[in-house]
Structure formats: structure tokens, C-alpha cells
Chain A
Amino acid sequence: MKKKEFIEKLKSLLYGLPANEVKDILADYEEHFMAGMENGKSEEEIARALGNIEDIAQQFREELRDTQPKTGLDLFLEKVFKLFAVSKRNKLILIATIIGLIFAAMFIIQVIFSMLPVILIAAAILLFIAYIKRNKNEAVEITESKEAALTDVNKIVIKTILSHVNVSYHDDKNDKVYINFNGSSAVMSKPYLMVNQAGSILRIQIKNRFDISSIFNFYRQKLKLEIKLPRTFQDNLQIETISGSIDATELKSCNFNANTISGKIKTEKIAAGQILLKSTSGKCNVLNCRGAVNVKTISSSLTYISNHLDDAICFKSTSGKAKLIIPENSDFKIEYKTLSGRFKSELPLNTNSFSGNKSFEGIIGSGKIAIEVKTVSGGCKILANKATGIVEK
């Protein structure tokens, strides 16, 4: 075997190891060949003395095993490349498969192109409808008020798409809920308020009339759903929006649940058995609330401000950051798990595995309260709440 063959084969067998390592390894063997040839040996002699290439590759894999986790894709590619290195028959099968895939792709592209006129005509029709109806695209003022008595209700569900939701208590001495829906909207998609009770669940929903041309309606709606609950209602509360913000103030609830895609969530002075917030990209603010807080997000951050840390906090996110502003005399144990997030604390944390930006556990005082922060890239900051009752807007 010649030097070139040896290096090529080794390279194909090392597939899946980090590229820089492979480069380094191949360079070592190149050098070995060069040095051997300077000593008057032939390429074949040197290759023979080096031994079985499969054994060598296998040994490198064993030695470097701890340094790189293999993914399923890596293993698959490794197998594919092994085919190239090992057998001519398998190579043929592989090439035939690739050619087949190319033909299939060409066929699909062909189909899409033949559909093109249909797609263009459909788009033109939609635009034409929007053009005819454009005059109706004007704004209209909405003011709708409803009230409902809360008899045998233990759960209130509030659902909207883009209205901002505001929930708080009223001071009237009755058990009625006052609902106020106002703002401006385009005529065609004029939303309306719907309140109905099914069993022990009261649903408050904003519905939109669907119109095909509302796709082309660029009027920005400004809608607000204000809900005033009687102080006697302290049961389950669930609020869902797509892009509307959620703002809940001074409530008592055994189970407070807020769910949004891109709206902001703000909960202030809420006493609940559990506060569960879910958001994709809307920011979450939890201000001076009581009760275990559980926040799940994709990219949104959590700001938690409290002047007495009494309850557990759990924050799970992909890229959202957690900012906890809590009193200096707090007693808690924090578990921070992250891939690349950074951690910063103003409070003196006792930990034996703190390394700046990796997963660790820290404790302050007796470690009575559990705080759990899990992110992929989101950081975590703990700041001292010096002023009592500060509120961040």
C-alpha cells in the first residue's frame, strides 16, 4: 500500500471525530512516512510496519471517546463513509440511491412548476377581493359591556387572540364579574365578546368574524378586555392570548395560569397556590407575588421581584434570561442548569462547583426555598432588592 492510499483510508475510517483532531492525526502519519522515506524505506515497507488501519482507527476512537459525544447523524454518516471505504458493491448501491433521489427531486420541482399558474391565479383573485372590499377596511369603535353572576363557578377561562387582558378585583359587594371590551378594530373582522358558562367553568372569549379579505387587512387593532372580579372569587383562573398582553393585579387564586405566544405577562401582588406562566416570546414579570412560581418560555425572559422570598421558583427556557431581585436576607438553594448561559449573583452564594457559566448548585442561609433555573443559553442574575416594594415597569 502506498502512502496516499494509507492516509485516504485512515481518513475515511476516522469520520465522525472532530475535524481538527483528524487533521492532526493525518499530519502525524504523513510525517512518519516522510521520515521513514528519508531513512531509505519504501512507502510499502512503512505502511506494512504501521499495521492494520482498522485497528489504528479503532484505537483512536477509543482514546478520544470521552472528548466527543456522537449524535445519531454522526453514526449514520460514519456508516455511509465506511461503505465507501470497504466495499465496491456497497459503493454502487449508494451511488444508485443518490441518483434515484436526484430524479425524485427533479420530479417534485416539475410538479411545483406546473402548478405555478394555479397559484398565481389564486393570489390574483384574493388580491381582487381585497381591492373591492378595501373601503370597508375602516376602523370602527367597539364598546361592549357584560356582567355575569358567579354562581357555582370554580374556574374562569379567558381567551383572546390580540386583545390586551386586564384582570383585577372590584369593590362592589356582590358576586358579579364585570366585563368591559373596548377599542378600535377594522370593520370586516369586527371582534365580539362572548360569555358563557358550562358546568362550573365560566368562559370569556373574544371571537373574530373570519373574512377572506381580512388576510389583507393591515389595520392595527387596539383592543382591551377589562375584567373585574368580585373579591369572593379565589378559584382557578386561566388566561390565554396569542399576541395580547396579560396584566393581572392584586388577585387571590388557588391556581393562576397565563399562556401567551408573544404577549407580555405581568402579574403583580397575586397570592396563589401556584402561578404558572407559559410564553413563547413575551416577557414575564412577576412582582411581589405569593405562591410557587413556575415559568416556561422559549425566548422570553423572566423578571421576578419580591421583598420576601417565601416560595419556590422554577424557570425553564431555551434562550430566555432569569432576573431575580430578592431581599439580601433570603434563605434559598438555587440549582442552575445551562449549556451556555452565564450566572451572576449580587448575593453571597455558597457553592463548591461554581465556574462562571456552567451548571451548579448554590446555597444561601439554610437553603429553605428551592429555586430551579434551567436554560440552554439563557443567563441567570440574582440581584439584591434593597428598596422594599420596588416595581419595575
Chain B
Amino acid sequence: MNIQFKKGVLELCVLSILYKKDCYGYELVNTISENIAIAEGTIYPILKRLAKDGYFTTYLKESTEGPPRKYYRLTETGKELKEQLETDWFKLIKSVTNIIGDKRKGSK
């Protein structure tokens, strides 16, 4: 998959997961890698940049076992970005489906 395209998709995934609830790094990475085949290590750089650009904040929370974990929480601008990326995504899917033709429709 094209690297820029992949990055953009991963951004949307990260934002959508955090939109539902605050997560710590492993949890987030795991949720994504369960669905998309990806080198897990490459998600952290994306997290780093999104945090730097102010789309989410981080805080430490005690875990039941082991040391405290770093949790990520979406900010207001993060929520806005998520909405925007989501709209873009569905538009893209629609356009692409139009071009390549919906197989389900075609089979009818």
C-alpha cells in the first residue's frame, strides 16, 4: 500500500479509536493490528506527531499490574480532525466504488 495513503488511513483509525475511549499505546496498536496487517512499531511515530500537533493530550494512569501507563485523550481539534477525515474517507469510498463498480449491485 502507498505509504502516504497508509499513513492517512492509520491517522483516521487512531482518531476513531480514541474518539470512543481513551487508550494506552499497546491497546491502540493492538486494536489496529488486529484488523490491518502492519508493522506495529510504525504507529508510534504517528501518535507522536498527532500529539505534537495538539490533536490529543497524554496522561499517566495506574495499571492493575506493572508501572503506570500513558493514555491518549482526543482534544477538541482532534475531534474536528476525526470528523473531517471520516467525511473524506466516506466520500473517497463512494467515488472509488463508483469508478470500479459495485460488485454486489452488478451481481443482482
Residues of A participating in the B interface, judged by any CB pair closer than 8 Å: 21, 24-25, 27-29, 31-32, 34-36, 38-39, 49-53, 55-56, 59-60, 62-64, 67
Q: How far is it, in angstroms, between the C-alpha of A373 and the C-alpha of B77 when the chains are bound?
A: 39
Identify 14 new A-B residue pairs, CB closer than 8 A, beyond the known A38-B66, A39-B26, A64-B52.
Answer: A25-B48, A28-B25, A31-B24, A31-B70, A34-B67, A51-B38, A51-B41, A55-B39, A56-B39, A56-B45, A59-B45, A63-B46, A64-B48, A64-B49
Within 8 A of A (CB), among B48-94: 48-49, 52, 65-67, 69-70
What residues on B are CB-neighbors of A39 within 8 Å? 26
Given contacts A25-B48, A64-B48, contact A31 B40 (CB under 8 A): no
Given contacts A51-B41, A52-B39, A59-B42, contact A32 B52 (CB under 8 A): no
What residues on B are CB-neighbors of A28 within 8 Å? 25, 44, 47, 70
Smallest CB gap from B39: residue in A: A51
CB–CB B69/A35 < 8 A: yes
Place the interface of chain B in its size category. Answer: 20 to 34
CB–CB A63/B49 < 8 A: yes
Main secondary structure of the interface of A (DSSP, over half): helix
Smallest CB gap from A30: residue in B: B67
CB–CB B44/A29 < 8 A: yes
Min C-beta distance of A54 to chain B, whole Å = 10
Q: How far is it, in angstroms, between the C-alpha of A120 and the C-alpha of B24 when the chains are bound?
A: 69
What residues on B are CB-neighbors of A64 within 8 Å? 48-49, 52
Whether a CB of chain A sits under 8 angstroms from the CB of B13 is: no
Main secondary structure of the interface of B (DSSP, over half): helix
Min C-beta distance of B2 to chain A, whole Å = 15
Most chain A beta-carbon contacts within 10 A, residue among B49, B69, B70:
B49
Selected contact of A35 from candidates B24, B38, B45, B46, CB within 8 Å:
B24
CB–CB B44/A56 < 8 A: yes
Q: How far is it, in angstroms, between the C-alpha of A53 and the C-alpha of B39 when the chains are bound?
A: 10
Q: Give 25 pairs: A residue, B residue, CB < 8 Å, sorted on A.
A: A25-B48, A28-B44, A28-B70, A29-B41, A29-B44, A31-B24, A32-B26, A32-B29, A32-B44, A35-B25, A35-B26, A35-B27, A36-B26, A38-B65, A49-B33, A50-B39, A51-B38, A53-B41, A55-B41, A56-B44, A59-B42, A62-B45, A63-B46, A63-B48, A64-B49
Min C-beta distance of B77 to chain A, whole Å = 18
Closest 8 pairs between A and B when the two form their complex, measured CB to CB: A51-B39, A35-B26, A50-B41, A59-B45, A63-B49, A56-B41, A51-B41, A49-B40
